[in-house]
Amino acid sequence: MHILFNIFFFIFCFFLGIRSIAYGIYEVKQNKNKAGGIGFTIFCLVIIVFCNFAIWL
């Protein structure tokens, strides 16, 4: 049961990461906010990686 939760959590975080990357690209392309788009994307990806690391331990 524990491994099933980890897999579902990883899949959820994967889709969340894709959405955050898409929003970062939108910020850079449409709003011409390069620092905000890159910062948001990096921040979200670091948080997602940290959460997955903490869950799998």
Take residue 14 and report the two structure tokens written for it: 């994967």
Number of domains within the chain: 1
Q: Which long-range contacts (CB under 8 A, 24 or more apart) does 20-29 make?
A: 20/44, 20/45, 20/48, 21/45
Q: Is the pTM of this model over 0.75?
A: yes
For the chain, give the percent of residues with pLDDT over 70. 100
- pLDDT for res 1: 79
DSSP classification of residue 31 = S
As a whole number, the mean pLDDT across the chain is 93
> How would residue 25 be classed by pLDDT, with cut points 50, 70 and 90?
very high
Which residue range is the domain that position 6 belongs to? 2-56
